[in-house]
Structure 1
């Protein structure tokens, strides 16, 4: 086993300097990060971690090139050469995302994988086996009120969900694996359920709702730090326009008070 793995980051995993995230980031070659187009949007109400504003999700509703956002793939410093190391890295990612230090999922989010479909069959089968075993072990060892991801919440009702029942990403990344990321055997990420409100309605927020939440909660860090680190969505310009014109917010002034540095 000798696989090259990259971690997709579409938000604060890249720039948040909390200790648990710095521990995870130390495993990755931040200086070799690759900016890539991704099907992402603001789609999850994060009541605790983001002060009641909306955070980023993967979305199969984004199927046109001009609607793709921008995120990063961070290469791991070392190729993964054992099942034990693979599991350790997945748990580190889970812990960094606030899921759990002992398992890779909660009902609202999970570590997930996308295997390069263009690598040889032997390598694909090996990665799939390791991943399948990890998912099965996680499901088999859930106890008490622990829950596996509610896959139906990972997209709107009539939309292909962003993960399948085996917690593999379903968003199309073949355009990356064919070109910019062809050296990677697989990519890992965290995928979260979409959430409009405290009722857990799995509906995407409108751009007006996203901007209003930022303004009402006076919490600009997540939106602005994503932009400062070139993490973008098709929604960004309209969100910024509403904040500036409707709410008379100076984003330049807000940017000065952002707590986290650019990576």
Structure 2
């Protein structure tokens, strides 16, 4: 008698949570669950693929820049990123500790909500950023939702001709459902995202890994792109870190203003 076993999907991740493609690892590429010619998204690539392939009904990832939502989007899953401190980071290998959030991959919203209800508990003894959640007010949404649609995506599709059509179809679907489409400038959010990899927050990745890198691990154990990004964090000084923090706060004021009166923000990942 011959037994046929379906091999488990590769559960590899982008090394040191640095990457959004699922390919940045010396231990193999995590392939998209629908088409192996497409990336699976990262850095929590494997966590998403095992849910999308039906191996498990739910899994955990991390999300600093998009690592828990990009793989979800590319593998047709729910990707839940809580606000910082809602989930404890105890036991999580840090990427940028001041920004890191554990995340949830699930097949449906109910499972994601269940996971949130279980995990959203204070853990003051083990997580520096842990916090107690405020009471959840019941918000009454208007019958005609105001949906913000960025006006500054032009030129940011990088030659892709398929996804702009999918995005446009999503906008039309919301219109047909009765939503009011409100054009907004996406530039402040894009500027904020750039700070994460072009600013001093890369130094946090260096702080998280420098003891390991000081052991001089063989180069074959390091993804060259990841190693280059992390080692670049060593060049930043404390004064520059404060400068970027001031910049971040100024950008946030612009972002908050653009959210006024908005019920839903329809965007896409640009990481």
Name the structure, 1 or 2, with higher relative contact order (CA <8 Å, separation 6+): 1
TM-score, normalised by the number of residues in structure 2: 0.25
TM-score (norm 1): 0.25
1 or 2, which has the higher strand percentage? 1
Structure with bigger gyration radius = 2
